[in-house]
Every structure is written in structure tokens, then in C-alpha cells.
Amino acid sequence: MKVLITGAGGQLGKELSKQLKEKDMSVISLTRSMLNITDQQAVRHAMRHYRPDIVVSAAAYTSVDQCETETEKAYLVNGIGAYYTALEAKQVGADVLHVSTDYVFDGQKGAPYQVDDQADPQTIYGKSKKLGEELIRLVSDEVKIIRTSWLYGHGGHNFVNTILRLAETKDHVRVVNDQFGSPTYTKDVAEALIHLFDQASGIYHVSNRESCSWFEFAKEIVARSGRSTTIEPISTEEYGFQTPRPAYSVLDLQAIEATGWQPRHWKEALQEYLQKEGRWHQHD
């Protein structure tokens, strides 16, 4: 089986490439510099040249604040680029798995979002990802859309690494306490994606189990890394985000659990991440 990954330079792309190679699968890992997904001719050439069996569409423009000012780029990458990837993949008979986000929801539900809940994004990032989902479904019903949330992984910019860095230099760190979601380790998402290779088409939500606020997540990161930094809870309003974030973006996991994949608790996943990074405090 030959698997082609777009966005292979990102946290999830790197992890997925690593796991597939460990399983001795044939992997074509294409980073942003290797394949511009907004260039349809380039995407067509890549698909016809490699002729993959499976395409994992992980390329995205994910900077939430920058998407607001670079609107055209956001829609080109997250919407049109995702469409070109699915379209040209299907032309060579490849299965398509597309990675999407909790940001397609408005964050007002107050209960876990199910796969068929109405998408109503409040940001350009979310709107551009929603467009990508819609365009992909126009290409074919035989696609898999995987939404995930609060992602962190090795070798990238993420919330865990930011908190660890701040904890090394500051006595107090202020973190919002009124936004709730499920922290999710890329190792677990990559495992779920591979599991989904053999499953039915449709939309799946993939995250670690249970939820918390960013404040609670930060407290856990600091405690498990053995730091004494005080984490101070503040409101979203006090923090003053440039762009609104979903207040509640927990994803319902029933669809993927029904396939036999069981997510682990976010605290368990965080511990493994910190151990692999050499940042776990043994006497926690």
C-alpha cells in the first residue's frame, strides 16, 4: 500500500510519516516546499507520478490570527487546495482522508459536537476549513473527513511547548479559563488515521478523551514537568485575543469508537509526550 501525505512537514504529517514507515508502508511525504496544493497542475502531476493508494490531506494554513488578515491565502490553502488534492487523488483512484478541525463549529453548544452537527464557524480559519470539507464532498461521497482539536506534537509550535518555555522563565503565567476542548496528541491522531484506512467513508471526530480548559491544561503541563510556575486563570476578554476562539469545542467520539478505535485520556497522552520530550517529572 502506497500512502501520500500532503503537509508532511507539520506536526501531524511528521508523526504519520514516522508511524507508516515503522509499519513498512510505502510513504510519500510531501512538505509545503515540495508540493504547493494551491497549484492544481502540480497536484495533478504528483498524483499521476506517485499513483498512491491513499492520500492523507494534512496540508493547511492553521494560524488563526493570520487567517483573518490573509483571507485569500486561507481560502486558497484550506478550501481550494484541499479540493485540488481530493479531486486529483480521486482521478488516480486513491482513497482520500482529509484532516479538518473543531473550528468549523461555533463553540456555543455546551455539549460535545457530533459529526452531523451543523458547522457554523466564526473565524476565517474555520470558514476556510468548512469550505474545504464542502468542496471535498462535491468531489466524491467516498472520502473520510477527520476533525481534530487542540493538537500538539513533536517538532512543532504548540501550546504544550509554549507553556513549558514560559514556565522556564516566568513565575506567573496567565491562561484563559473559559475555553474548553480536548487536548490531542498527534501520535494518537496518526494511529487513528491509519486505523481509518480500512473503515467506511464519512466524517469522524478524533481527539483524546475528556476535556478541560486551557488553564487546566496548562496547570497539568506545569505539574507534570515538575515546574513551580503559578498558572493564573483569566477570561478570554481579559486576555484580549485578536480573533475569537470557540468557547466550547469538545468533539463527540462515537463515530470513531464504533469502528473499534478507543481514545485514551488526554492526561495519559500528555504524560507520554512529556516523557518523549524528556520533560516529565518522575516524582509527580
Residues 130-158 have pLDDT tens digits of 999 999 999 999 999 999 999 999 988 89
For residue 23, what pLDDT is reported?
96
Whose cell is 464542502? That residue is 134
27 forms beta bridges with 3
Question: What is the C-alpha separation between 176 and 166, in angstroms, rounded?
Answer: 15
Smallest CA-to-CA distance from 274 within 114, 163, 112, 118 is with 163
Lowest mean per-residue pLDDT among 175-189, 230-244, 246-260: 230-244
* Cell, residue 215: 488553564
HSE toward the beta carbon, residue 50, CA cutoff 13 A? 24
Backbone angles phi, psi at 234, to 5 degrees: -135, 165
What is the average pLDDT score of the chain?
Answer: 96
Q: Is 125 a catalytic residue?
A: yes
For residue 244, what pLDDT is reported?
84
Backbone angles phi, psi at 3, to 5 degrees: -115, 125
Residue 70 has pLDDT above 70, yes or no: yes
Mean pLDDT, range 210-235, rounded to an integer = 96
Task: Tell me how many helices (H) and strands (E) the chain has.
Answer: 12, 12
Question: What is the C-alpha separation between 279 and 259, in angstroms, rounded?
Answer: 34
For residue 155, what pLDDT is reported?
87
Residues 97-136 have pLDDT tens digits of 999 999 999 999 999 999 999 999 999 999 999 999 999 9
For residue 123, what pLDDT is reported?
96
| Amino acid at residue number 89 | A
The answer to whether 54 touches 1, Cβ cutoff 8 Å, is yes
Residues 27-56 have pLDDT tens digits of 999 999 999 999 999 999 999 999 999 999
For the 2-150+184-209+251-264 domain, the top CATH level (class) is alpha beta
* Cell, residue 13: 504529517
Angle between helices 214-224 and 159-169 (to 10 degrees): 60
Residues 171-215 have pLDDT tens digits of 999 999 999 999 999 999 999 999 999 999 999 999 999 999 999
**What is the sign, positive or negative, of the torsion defined by CA atoms of 50, 53, 57, 58?**
negative
Question: What is the percent of the chain where pLDDT is above 70?
Answer: 99
The answer to whether 187 touches 15, Cβ cutoff 8 Å, is yes
Question: What is the C-alpha separation between 53 and 41, in angstroms, rounded?
Answer: 20
Catalytic residue from among 83, 84, 113, 125:
125
pLDDT band at 91; cut points 50, 70, 90: very high
